[in-house]
Chains A and B, each alone.
Chain A
Amino acid sequence: MMDVRFEGMKDKLKNVKKVIVVCSSKGGVGKSTLSYIISCILSEDMVVGVCDFDFTGPSLHILFRTDMSFTESDGINPPEIYKNLFFLSVTFFSKDKPLAIRGSSISDVILELLAITNWDGVETIVIDTPPTITDTILEILKYFHDAEFFVVSSNSILSYSTVLKFISIIVERTGRLPILVMNDISGVGFGNKSNSTFYQELLNYSKRTIFFPYLNNIEEYYGKIEDIRKIESVRKFKRELNFYEKI
């Protein structure tokens, strides 16, 4: 007996060239913020679909300040919330109500969304994920073997040590090193921790490390896509990403 959604998903995703997964072992390290920023800067140059796969704690609709929802035609069409930027969230269906789901239901939500969503014209999909190795990450590892994993760490020793283990799971499942984003969420920089062995090990355990600085008044930039693109440190981040040539 075979679930038809597997073939459905294949068909819906067949023209998507690249999937970027923003993830971490740690909560509150800036996964959603970076998903927001990465999709804002990528959509300057290509058509991007951004997915909120944190079903129990969705945030992207707040970061984008959008209440747009899908339209329907042979599946669902994610709304274009800004030029070349399409958005998918479980909040289209759950509205503002809490969704308490576990285990296989999480797998079902992912499969269902991927099997019914039309990504026509979308070249790159950016996925925001919940913290830790949960069903969401395991499902993504199953379906998006070739994805580019952006593992986010904040500047704390606790974060370094768990992120190391998280990366080793990703390396084992994908056979590739992820990109490490060191996010300065507390604004103290990384200098004071740079002697920690975890820190050194972490930098060696990624194919590239990108530092993202503390942004003042970050909440003022929610929903201001043009403004966020103009921030100098965001432009620098974009130059450092420089993976476009691989698309």
Chain B
Amino acid sequence: MHEFSLARATKDTIVNKYNGLHKFIIYIGQIQQIDIELFKEALFEEIRELNIDVVFEEIPAKMKCNVCQYVFIYDKNSLNSEEQEDIHFLPETIYIYLRCPNCKSNDFTIVEGRGIFVKPL
């Protein structure tokens, strides 16, 4: 699981990039299907002694087709578990497996819901 790596990177971002701030919102993109409970647990462990408050928000994976401009949400159940596993590690493999529901192109852009972002509150 790389949830631990992600939790450490989140802590490092809070400490190194927002030194002195204490309240944060953590946006978690759904494309990668991070194990949220595991990630939260790991992050709480990382920041235990730091007097930092975090809230979490999950962001659905939204795509926009570059060919027909159609906007759609990635539904993980449209792919099998091996495909989902590849996307878990490397979200861009979604271009192999997913097609625009409207025109069947795989030339689309991930507009939202990719990766983990930290924002001070």
Contact = CB atoms under 8 A, between A and B. Distances in A.
Interface in A48-65: 55
Interface residues of B, number: 32
28 contacts: A1-B27, A2-B13, A2-B17, A2-B18, A4-B6, A5-B115, A5-B116, A6-B13, A8-B5, A8-B6, A8-B9, A72-B1, A72-B2, A74-B1, A74-B2, A76-B2, A94-B90, A94-B96, A99-B92, A99-B93, A99-B95, A101-B95, A105-B95, A105-B109, A109-B92, A115-B5, A115-B9, A116-B5
Interface string B63-85: 00000000000000000000000
Query: B5, B17, B106: which has the most chain A beta carbons within 10 Å?
Result: B5
A109 B110 CA distance: 13
Shortest Cβ-Cβ A-B pairs, 9 listed: A8-B9, A7-B12, A4-B9, A93-B90, A75-B5, A1-B119, A74-B4, A93-B86, A7-B13
Interface in A84-101: 90, 92-95, 97-101
Nearest to A75: B5
A3 interface: yes
Interface of B: 1-2, 4-6, 8-10, 12-13, 16-18, 27, 86, 89-93, 95-96, 106-107, 109-110, 114-119
A1 B96 contact: no
A102 B95 CA distance: 10
Contact size class for A? Answer: 35 or more
Interface of A: 1-8, 10-12, 55, 72, 74-76, 90, 92-95, 97-102, 104-105, 108-109, 112-113, 115-116
